Amino acid sequence: MNEQGLLVVISAPSGGGKTTIIRKVLERHDPRFVYSVSCTTRKPRQNEVDGKDYFFLSEAEFKKRIAEGEFIEWAIVHDNYYGTSRATIDHFLRQGKVVLLDIDIQGGIEVKRIYGDQALLIFIKPPSMHDLERRLRSRQSDSDAVIRKRLENARHELEKQSQYDAVITNDILENTVDQVIETIEKKIAELSQTESIRR
Ligand code: 5GP
């Protein structure tokens, strides 16, 4: 494995199932894999735990951390602030970990710009817009207006999938998880190859 670690950005239109996919990847208990918990100003959903799903911050606190340069990237998504902690990422990379990031596409592109070949961008695509709408509605946590806004954003996000290193259609969950892991393993093998050539 590359001693520098690897950042794996997993992006999908909201409701595309990426949170479940990431959870399933982590459930394989590969000690190399860790999750980067983002900060947000969004209110916690039912069952979400502070420090595990997100660090839930006030807008004032979030803005203070932006000013202090604490985020490698941050964005306003669906009217809330979201950001990736520099301290978390640096800590894991120093340990040579495979760091999974559940962040949006603009964030993914920014991570690639900063980390280059040390970042792998995986786009999870819903089988169809119809399927995406069904998933968003079944979550029963967002209002109709929020769902419509998320569907509209999804249309724009789908247009950007070509900027990602890999695109995987989330049809059957277990297959998707297998494909995500295969894609990561392939990247690790490539990086190890480059490392050994350099040595
Ligand atoms: P949700 O509110 O559904 O948890 O997340 C909304 C969107 O924000 C998702 O697309 C999620 O990937 C994205 N997101 C979560 N954390 C971050 C982050 O730290 N940075 C960026 N750019 N997007 C994030």
Q: Find the 136 Cα to ligand 1 centroid distance in Å.
A: 15
Q: Is 77 in the pocket of ligand 1 (CB under 6 A)?
A: yes
- Identify whether 174 is part of a domain: yes
- Identify whether 32 is part of a domain: yes
Total domains in the chain come to 1
The CATH number for 152's domain is 3.40.50.300
The string of pLDDT tens digits covering residues 154-171 is 998 899 999 999 999 999
The string of pLDDT tens digits covering residues 171-191 is 999 999 999 999 999 999 999
Q: pTM score > 0.85 for this model?
A: yes
Q: How far apart are CA 84 and CA 94, in angstroms?
A: 16
- Identify whether 1 is part of a domain: no
Quick check: 121 and 105 in contact, CB under 8 A?
A: no
Assigned token pair, 17: 């199932």
Q: How far apart are CA 140 and CA 143, in angstroms?
A: 8
Which residue segment(s) compose the domain that 83 sits in? 6-198
Q: Find the 82 Cα to ligand 1 centroid distance in Å.
A: 6
- Identify whether 28 is part of a domain: yes
